[in-house]
Structure 1
Amino acid sequence: MKKQFKRVDWLLVLLPIIGAVVISLIFVTYPVSSHRLLSSIRGFLNQQFSFFYILVALFFLCSSIYVAFSRYGRTKLGAPDDKPMYSNLHWGILAFTSTMSADIIFYSLCEWMMYAQEPFIQKKPDVLEWSLTYSLFHWGPVVWSFYIMLAVAFAYMLFVTKNKRQRFSEACRPLFGHYVDGIVGKLIDLVAIFALIAATATTFSMSMPLLATAVGKLFGVRNVKALSLLLLIVVVIIYLSTSVMGMKVMTRLSLICYIFFISLMVYVLLCGGSLSFIINSGIQASGNLVQNFAGMVTTTHSNGFTQNWTIYYWSYWIVWCVATPFFIGSISKGRTIKDVVVRGYAWGLGGTYLSFIVLSNFGISRQISHLVNATHDLQTGMTYSQVILKIMETLPEYRIALILLAMAMVGLYSTVFDSITMVIAKYSYRNLEVSEEPSKLMRGAWAIIFMLLPLSLLIGNSSMYNIQSVAIIAAFPTAIVMVLIVVSFYKEIMSGAE
C-alpha cells in the first residue's frame, strides 16, 4: 500500500477534488451569482472567440482525413507483429459505448424541438427538416474528428513511442520536451482533469431528468428531482462495481448496453408506424447536410444560433476529449492509423445517426400528424422530459419502449463512466506502464468525485444555460491543449518516418 501511495501524484488528485467540492458548494449556496458569473464568461467567449472554436473544428476534421489517407495511415499502432487487441465488432462496440453517454438518447428525442424554436431555423424553408439536419451536423464528422484524431495520437504514444506516463501532458512531450515533467505538464493535466469534471456534470445534469421521468412513469413516482438523485446513485454503484472488476466485465457491459440501445431503435422503427417517414426524412436530412456542410461549419452570423448551439456542442465534445479518445487509443493496439480513423468514423457516425434519424423523426412524425404539439407544450412550461414522455406514449405498448430507454440510458451512463474512471485514474500516477491498470481504490475514489458537481447542479436546479456554460468555459483551454497534442503527434511521427 505504501508503494502505491508513493506512485500517486497527489497534486493532480487533491487539487481537483478540492476544486470540485468548492465549485459544487458555490453552485448550491449562490445559484444566482453563479449564473451571472457563468453568463458573463460565456458571453465573452462567444463574442470574442467563436472563430477559435470554428478553426479548431476545421483543423481536427482535415487532420483526421489527412493522417488516414497519407503515408502515415499505414503506420501500425504497436510492434509489426502485434495483432488487434479486440475483434472488429468488440472494438466498435467499445468505441461507441465508451464515448456516447445517455444524453445521445435525450438529445435524439428533443433536439429537433429546441431548434424549431430558434429564429435562425424558422427562416429556413422547411423548419423540421433543417432541425434534423443541424442535429446530424452537430453530432457528425466534426465532433467525431476530435475523438478520432486524439485517439490516434494517444495510441501512438502508448504503443509506438511507449511513454510510461499515461497523461494528457505526456502527449505533448515531443513539443515541450522535459518541460512536461514540471509546471507546464502539471498545468496541462489539471486543465484536463477539470475539463472532465465539467463534462460529467454536463452529461448527468442534462439527461438524468429524462431517465427519472421514464422510471417515474413506470413505477408511479412523481418526484423527478428526488428520483434523479436516487438514479444518479444507482448509476454510480453500477459503474463503480464494474470499474473495479476490470476490462472483461466492462466489455460484457458494453455489449449488453449496445443490445438495449439497438433494441430501442428497432422497437421505435418497427412499432411506431412511421417507418417510411423515418427513412425518407433521414435520407432527405442527410442529403441536405452534405449539400450545405461547408457553409454550416463556417457560419458565424446566425442570430446567436452558432454561439448557443454549434459552439456548445463542439465544447461539449471537447471537454470529453480528455478521456474518451484516450480509452479508444488504449484499445487500438495492433491496428493501423487508417483502420482506427475509418472504423472510428463508421461506428461513431453509424450509431449517432441511427439514433437521431430514428428517434428525432419519430417525434417529428408525431408533431406533423398532430398526435402531439411539442413546441406548444414547451412554451406552456412543460419540460423536455415531459414532452418526450408524451411522444413515447403514442407508441403501442409504450412501457416496453420506456423500459428499453431506461436500460439503454443506464447502460450508456455506466459504460462511459467506466472508461473515464479508468483513464483519469491512470492520470493520477507518476508513472504507469501501458500493461498496468490503476488500483481499484483509485478508480473508486474518482467514480465518487465525478458525482459532486452533477449533484450540485441537480440540487441547485441549474438551468440548461448554466449547464451548457460549464462545458463552453472548460472547453476553451482544453481545445488549446488538444491542438498542441496533434502538433506533437505530427512532430513525432514525422521524425520517426525519416
Structure 2
Amino acid sequence: MSKLKKIDWPLIILPITGVFTVSLILTLFPVQSHHDLTIVRSFLNGHFSFFYILVAIFFLCSTLYAAFSRYGKIKLGDLNDKPQYSNLHWGILVFTSTMSADIIFYSLCEWMMYAQEPFIKQKHNIFEWSLTYSLFHWGPIVWSFYIMLAVAFAYMLFVTKNKRQKFSEACRPLFGGLIDGIVGKLIDLIAVFALIAATASTFSMSMPLLATAVGNLVGIHNIRKLSLMLLIIVVLIYLTVSVIGMKAITKLSLICYTFFIGLMIYILLFSGSMDFILDSGIQATGNLLQNFVGMATTINSKGFTQDWTIYYWSYWIVWCVATPFFIGSISRGRTIKDVILRGYAWGLGGTYLSFIVLSNFGISRQIQHLVNAIGDVQSGKTYSQVIMKIMETLPQYRIAVILLILSMIGLYSTVFDSITMVVSKYSYRDLSIEEDPSKLMRGMWAVVFVMLPLSLLISNSSIYNIQSVAIIAAFPTAIIMILIVISFYKKSRNSLKNNEY
C-alpha cells in the first residue's frame, strides 16, 4: 500500500492511453498511417537532418571531454564505495541490457540493404563500404548516447542521491522547481512515449527472423502467426524475470551472452571463411577510421544519410530513455572515466564482433556464389528468408540456427527486463535507489510494451513505417538528452569545487 500511494498516475494512464490509441490506428488504418508517417518523416528529414548530425557530434565530444578532463576522476558514489559488479560482469550486463535481438538481424542482413543503395554502389568496393557503414552506424557515436547519459543518471542516483528516479529529475539543475510541475511531467511523458516507440521498432524488425528460424526447425511456415506466438513467449520470459528482480536479470544476462558468443565461435570455426571474415573486418575498421569525420558530417548523400544515418541516430536516441539509466544504476563506485572507457570497450567490442563475423559470413557466401542474397531480396524474398538460406550453407547448420534462436530470445529478454525495471521506477513520484518497483507495476509495463509491436506486426507495417516511428519520437527526446548533459555538467562542477580530484 505504501508504494501504491507513491504512484504517479498521470505518467501511467496517459502513455497507456496513447499506446492503445496509436496501436488501434495502425491496425485499422494501415494505408492512412503510412501516409501520415511519411509526411512527418519527410518534414523532419528535409528541415532537421542537421539537428540529428549535431546531436551525434555533441555526444561523442562530450564523452571524450568527460573522460579525459577533471570530470573523469569523479566517483559515482561515496568516496569509499566499491563497484557492485566485477568488470567482467558489469561489461556483460552493459552489452546484454542494451543490445536487443535486432543486432543479430542487422548483422546478418544490413550489408544487403546497403549494397542496394545508389550512394554505396558508387563506391569502389561495395561490400567493404557496406560493412564500414554498419560499423559506423553501430559505433562510437551511438554508444556515446548511452554512455554519456549513463554517467549523468549515475551521478544523479549516487552522488546527488536523488530519490525521484525519473528522466525529468536529471534536468533539475537547469529547471529547478519547474520539474515538480508541468515541465517535469512533459519531459517524463515524452520519455515514456519514446521508449514505447523503441520497443516497437525492435520487436517489429527482428521478430520475423526469429520466427523464420524457429519455423525452419519445426516446419511451420506461417511466419506472421509464429511471430505473434513467439512475441508472447518472449514477453512471458521477460515478464517472469523482471518480476523476480535483479538477481534473475543478472543470471539471464550471463546465459544470453554465452549463447551469443557461442554463435560467433561456431560461425568462425565452421563456416570455412575465418580468414575472409577477419581480413575484411580489419579492412572495414581501417576504412572507418580513415573516413569517420566525413561520414559523421555528410548530409547530402542521395538520401542515404536521411534513410539510414538519421534513422540509426534516432533509433538509439529513443532507447536512451531506459538503457542508460540501467547502465547508470549498476555503476555505483566507479569513476566517470571508468564508466566511459569500459562502456565503449564492451559496447564496441560486442557490436563490432557481431557485425564483423555475421556480416562477413554472409558476404563470403555472396562472393563465393553459394547464395545470391542481393538477387533474392530484389526478387521479393524477405530478409529473414535470405538469412536462413545463408545459414543453411553451414555444416550442421541447425546447431547455428539453435544458437541464433537462443541468442535472440535471450537478448530480447535481457533488454526488456532492464527497461521494464527502469520504466517501472519512472512510475513512482519518489523511490529510493534501494527500493524496487512493485511486481504488479513491472508486470503491467511488460504487457504494455508489447501492444505497439503487436499492432505493427498485425498491420504488416513496412520497414519504412517502423523507422519513421523511431525518427519522429527521437526529435523531442534528443532535445531533452542535451538538457540532461548540460544539467550534469552544471551540477557536477560542485563536486570539482568541493573535492580534490
Q: Aligned residue for 2:361?
A: 362
Letter of the 1:139 partner, please give it.
Answer: W
Q: Aligned residue for 1:97?
A: 96
- Looking at structure 1, the residues matched to 182 and 21 of structure 2 have their Cα atoms a distance apart, in angstroms, of 23
Deviations 1:180-237 (A, max 9, x none): 0000000000000000000000000000000000000000000000000000000000
Q: Aligned residue for 1:87?
A: 86
Give the alignment's Cα RMSD to 1 decimal: 0.4
Q: Which runs of 5+ in 1 are unaligned?
A: none
Q: Aligned residue for 1:59?
A: 58
TM alignment of 1:209-228, pairs within 5 A = 209-228=208-227
Conserved 8 A contact 2:95-2:350: yes
Q: Aligned residue for 1:447?
A: 446
Q: Aligned residue for 1:284?
A: 283
Q: Does 1:15 align with 2:14?
A: yes
Q: Aligned residue for 1:324?
A: 323
Q: Aligned residue for 1:378?
A: 377
- Looking at structure 1, the residues matched to 31 and 495 of structure 2 have their Cα atoms a distance apart, in angstroms, of 53
Q: CA deviation at 1:496?
A: 2.9
Q: Aligned residue for 1:239?
A: 238
TM alignment of 1:31-430, pairs within 5 A = 31-430=30-429
Q: Aligned residue for 2:430?
A: 431
- Looking at structure 1, the residues matched to 241 and 458 of structure 2 have their Cα atoms a distance apart, in angstroms, of 26
Deviations 1:387-425 (A, max 9, x none): 000000000000000000000000000000000000000
SS in 1 for 2:334: coil
- With the length of structure 1 as denominator, give the TM-score of the two structures: 1.00
Q: CA deviation at 1:31?
A: 0.3
Letter of the 1:420 partner, please give it.
Answer: I
- Looking at structure 2, the residues matched to 132 and 115 of structure 1 have their Cα atoms a distance apart, in angstroms, of 9
Letter of the 1:362 partner, please give it.
Answer: F
Letter of the 1:212 partner, please give it.
Answer: A
Letter of the 2:464 partner, please give it.
Answer: Y
Letter of the 1:496 partner, please give it.
Answer: S
Conserved 8 A contact 2:150-2:324: yes
Letter of the 1:282 partner, please give it.
Answer: G
Q: Which runs of 5+ in 2 are unaligned?
A: none
Conserved 8 A contact 2:74-2:495: no
- Looking at structure 1, the residues matched to 387 and 10 of structure 2 have their Cα atoms a distance apart, in angstroms, of 44
Q: CA deviation at 1:168?
A: 0.5
Letter of the 1:341 partner, please give it.
Answer: I
SS in 2 for 1:462: coil
- Looking at structure 2, the residues matched to 153 and 282 of structure 1 have their Cα atoms a distance apart, in angstroms, of 33
Deviations 1:129-177 (A, max 9, x none): 0000000000000000000000000000000001110011000000000
Q: CA deviation at 1:497?
A: 1.7
- Looking at structure 1, the residues matched to 164 and 343 of structure 2 have their Cα atoms a distance apart, in angstroms, of 25
Deviations 1:416-458 (A, max 9, x none): 0000000000000000001111001000000000000000000
Letter of the 2:94 partner, please give it.
Answer: A
SS in 1 for 2:215: helix
How many equivalent pairs are there? 497
Deviations 1:436-488 (A, max 9, x none): 11001000000000000000000000000000000000000000000000000
Identical counterparts, % of pairs: 75
SS in 1 for 2:436: coil
Letter of the 2:348 partner, please give it.
Answer: L
- Looking at structure 2, the residues matched to 315 and 93 of structure 1 have their Cα atoms a distance apart, in angstroms, of 24
Letter of the 1:232 partner, please give it.
Answer: L
- Looking at structure 1, the residues matched to 51 and 225 of structure 2 have their Cα atoms a distance apart, in angstroms, of 40
Letter of the 1:26 partner, please give it.
Answer: I
- Looking at structure 2, the residues matched to 135 and 379 of structure 1 have their Cα atoms a distance apart, in angstroms, of 20
SS in 2 for 1:98: helix
- Looking at structure 2, the residues matched to 330 and 307 of structure 1 have their Cα atoms a distance apart, in angstroms, of 34
Q: CA deviation at 1:379?
A: 0.8
- With the length of structure 2 as denominator, give the TM-score of the two structures: 0.99
- Looking at structure 1, the residues matched to 99 and 275 of structure 2 have their Cα atoms a distance apart, in angstroms, of 27
Q: Aligned residue for 1:24?
A: 23
Q: CA deviation at 1:494?
A: 1.2
- Looking at structure 1, the residues matched to 458 and 313 of structure 2 have their Cα atoms a distance apart, in angstroms, of 26
Q: CA deviation at 1:495?
A: 2.9
- Looking at structure 2, the residues matched to 187 and 409 of structure 1 have their Cα atoms a distance apart, in angstroms, of 34
Q: CA deviation at 1:6?
A: 1.4
- Looking at structure 2, the residues matched to 320 and 136 of structure 1 have their Cα atoms a distance apart, in angstroms, of 19
SS in 2 for 1:431: coil
Deviations 1:303-322 (A, max 9, x none): 00000000000100000000
- Looking at structure 2, the residues matched to 496 and 384 of structure 1 have their Cα atoms a distance apart, in angstroms, of 51
- Looking at structure 2, the residues matched to 401 and 340 of structure 1 have their Cα atoms a distance apart, in angstroms, of 34
- Looking at structure 2, the residues matched to 495 and 406 of structure 1 have their Cα atoms a distance apart, in angstroms, of 48
Letter of the 2:93 partner, please give it.
Answer: L
SS in 1 for 2:98: coil
